[in-house]
Amino acid sequence: MNGGRLASRGGLDSTLRVGPVRYRLRTPLPSVARDIRAAYQGYPFDDPDDCAEFEVNLRPTRWWRRFIRPQITVRTDIHTPMVPLPGSMGLLAAEMGMNLQVALGMRRCLLLHASTVERDGLAYIFPAGSGSGKSTLSAALGFSGDWRFMGDEFALIDLDTGLALPFPRPISLKNQSIAVMRALARDGVFSAAFETSHKGTISFLTPPADAIRRMNEPARPAAIIFPTFEAGAAPHGEAMTRADVFVHLASSSANFDFLGEAGFETMWRLAETCPGFMLRYGSTAAAIELVDAVRRTVTP
């Protein structure tokens, strides 16, 4: 990282590439810079070939807020009003800003609110809302060693090729999922736990090294799996009709309405070529077994 003036004072002013997305991250706050560097260890910072497309600037709300009860706000290219957060939540603010910029500005890919894993060159996409367990499922598979983690927040589908592009940002774990993943990823790099009013406790887990190293390797989508975690539920899987898959995919996309005909065709190709499944489970172990059963049905 070079980072110029801000970095020389302990801050951060760097480009960061995650899969096909190039960010510029800036902050004058050393503690925030430190947390970002720790969560993104192993990622390509300041590659001279990278031209940032999204800027996320984490600044004190007032100059004196840098020193007294530090409070930060996120400034971004695509302006979205965000509630200021305590300075100790800088990484959370950065992740929120990075998510929003992609959700609002990505036009090169079809964007699904989904996690993704890969095995044998095939991508398995888990579209679901917040709290469904999609992050935990993809993290557990990724840290099992048998699957490659490709992303836990957005699945990026290339408009030209239909391939799933990796977007392996630090994994956002909430509440009980943090303990589940601490047990499964004993050598994992976890951020501090952030207490939030609307989502409970959040901690970020840096993806496995393999996921970061292979962040430029796309994969062909093989199945669309809609996961639902339900405490105490018996494992259950159900095949979906193609029409149902399309409708559910459309409702899980952040940019389908903005992509026009290319978005429609990409979504259709996904629904046409990938069988869809609804999975309900009560434990991560059961979820992994269900996903593996899907894998066996879709691979030759």
Contacts of 7-11 spanning 24+ positions with Cβ under 8 A: 7/33, 10/34
- Determine, following the binding rule CB under 8 A, whether residue 239 of this chain makes contact with other proteins: no
CB of 252 to other proteins, least distance (A): 14
Question: Which residues in 270-289 contact other proteins (CB under 8 A)?
Answer: 271-272
Q: Which two tokens stand for residue 119?
A: 């095995």
Cα 274–chain centre separation: 21
By C-alpha distance, which of 226, 210, 205, 204 is closest to 280?
Answer: 226
- Determine, following the binding rule CB under 8 A, whether residue 212 of this chain makes contact with other proteins: no
CB of 242 to other proteins, least distance (A): 4
| Interacting residue with other proteins among 239, 260, 293, 299 (CB under 8 A) | 260
Quickly count: other Cβ atoms within 10 Å of residue 133's Cβ: 24
CB of 266 to other proteins, least distance (A): 11
By C-alpha distance, which of 146, 205, 148 is closest to 174?
Answer: 205
- Determine, following the binding rule CB under 8 A, whether residue 247 of this chain makes contact with other proteins: yes
Residue 247 or residue 298: which is nearer to other proteins going by CB? 247
Give one word for 45, left, alpha or beta, with left for phi > 0 and alpha for psi -120 to 50: beta
- Determine, following the binding rule CB under 8 A, whether residue 264 of this chain makes contact with other proteins: yes
CB of 41 to other proteins, least distance (A): 42
CB of 246 to other proteins, least distance (A): 6
**Dihedral in degrees, nearest 10, Cα atoms 207, 208, 214, 220:** -80
Query: How many residues sit close enough to other proteins to count as binding (CB under 8 A)?
Result: 16
Q: Which residues bind other proteins (CB under 8 A)?
A: 241-244, 246-247, 250, 256-257, 260-261, 264-265, 268, 271-272
